[in-house]
Amino acid sequence: MYYREAGRLVKSFADDRRMLPLKEDRLLSTLFVVGVMYILVTAFASDYLLSAIFIPMMVLGVATLGLNIATGYTGQLSLGTAGFMSFGAFAAFNLVLRVDWMYIPLAFFLAGVIAGLVGIVFGLPALRIKGFYLIVSTLAAQFFSEWIFNAYPWFLNYTTSGVVNLPPFHYRVFPFQELTPLNDAFWHSSRGRYLITLTITIALIVACKNMVRSSTGRNWMAVRDMDIAANVIGISVAKTKLMAFFVSTFYCGVAGAMYSYCYIGNLDFMIFNLRRSFLVMFMVIVGGLGSILGSFLGAIFVYGWPILITRLGDWIFGGGTLDTAFVENNSKIVVGTIIIVLLIREPGGFAALWNTTKQKLRVWPFSK
Amino acid sequence: MWEWLPFFLEVLVGGLLSGVMYSLVAIGFVLIYKSSGVFNFAQGTMLLLAALTFVSMTERQVNFWVAFSITLVLMVALGIIVERTVMRPLANQSLLSLFMATVGLNYFLEGLAQGVWDSAVHGVDLGISNDPIFLIEKFPNLGLDIIISQFDIAAAVIAGSMILGLTLFFQYTRTGLSLRAVSDDHMAAMAVGIPLNRIWAIVWAVTGVICLIAGLLWGDRVSVSFTLTAAVLKGLPVILIGGLTSIPGAIVGGLIIGASEKLGEIYLAEYFGGQGIEHWWAYTTALIFLMIRPTGIFGEKEIERV
* Structure confidence by residue, pLDDT tens digits, A178-229: 777 777 778 888 898 999 999 999 999 999 999 999 999 999 999 999 889 9
Phi, psi of A103 (to 5 degrees): -125, 160
Q: What is the mean pLDDT of residues B1-28?
A: 80
Between CA B231 and CA A145 the distance in angstroms is 20
Between CA B184 and CA A260 the distance in angstroms is 49
Determine the pLDDT at residue A327. Answer: 79
Q: Contact at 8 Å (CB) between B252 and B302?
A: no
Residues sharing a CB contact under 8 Å with residue B5, sequence separation 6 or more, in sequence order: none
Contact flag A135-B236 (C-beta cutoff 8 Å): yes
Determine the pLDDT at residue A368. Answer: 63
Determine the pLDDT at residue A218. Answer: 94
Neighboring chain A residues of B100 at a CB cutoff of 8 Å? 281, 285, 339, 343
- pLDDT of B1 above 70: no
Closest CA to A227 of B290, B244, B37, B304: B304
Q: What is the mean pLDDT of residues B48-72?
A: 87
Low-confidence ranges of chain A (pLDDT < 50): 168
Determine the pLDDT at residue A59. Answer: 96
Determine the pLDDT at residue B103. Answer: 87
C-alpha distances (whole Å) from B56 to each of A325, B59, B124, B129 are 18, 5, 10, 22
Q: Contact at 8 Å (CB) between B64 and B57?
A: no
Neighboring chain A residues of B294 at a CB cutoff of 8 Å? 128-130, 133
Q: What amino acid is encoded at A121 in this protein?
A: V
Q: Which chain B residue has its CA at the smallest distance from A141's CA?
A: B280
DSSP per-residue letters across chain B = --TTHHHHHHHHHHHHHHHHHHHHHHHHHHHHHHHH----TTHHHHHHHHHHHHHHHHHTT--HHHHHHHHHHHHHHHHHHHIIIIITTTTTS-HHHHHHHHHHHHHHHHHHHHHHS-SS-B----S----EEEHHHH-GGG----EEEHHHHHHHHHHHHHHHHHHHHHHHSHHHHHHHHHHH-HHHHHHTT--HHHHHHHHHHHHHHHHHHHHHHHHHHH-BSGGGGGHHHHHHHHHHHH-TT-HHHHHHHHHHHHHHHHHIIIIIGGGGTSS--HHHHHHHHHHHHHHHSTT-SSPPPPPP--
Lowest mean pLDDT among A331-340, B247-256, B292-301: B292-301
- pLDDT of B102 above 70: yes
Determine the pLDDT at residue A300. Answer: 95
Between CA B85 and CA B62 the distance in angstroms is 31
Contact flag A336-B110 (C-beta cutoff 8 Å): yes
Whether the complex's predicted ipTM is more than 0.85 is answered with no
- pLDDT of B139 above 70: no
**Nearest CA to CA, how far is A249 from chain B (Å)?**
19
- Residue of B114, B274, B286 lying closest to A136 (CB–CB): B286
Maximum pairwise Cα distance, chain A: 67
Contact flag A133-B107 (C-beta cutoff 8 Å): no
Domains of chain B (ranges plus CATH)?
5-292 (1.10.3470)
**Nearest CA to CA, how far is A124 from chain B (Å)?**
10
Lowest mean pLDDT among A97-106, B173-182, B217-226, B233-242: B217-226
- pLDDT of B300 above 90: no
What is the band of B90 on the pLDDT scale with cuts at 50, 70, 90?
A: confident
What is the band of B137 on the pLDDT scale with cuts at 50, 70, 90?
A: low
Contact flag B240-A132 (C-beta cutoff 8 Å): yes
Q: Omega into A175 within 30° of 0, i.e. cis?
A: no
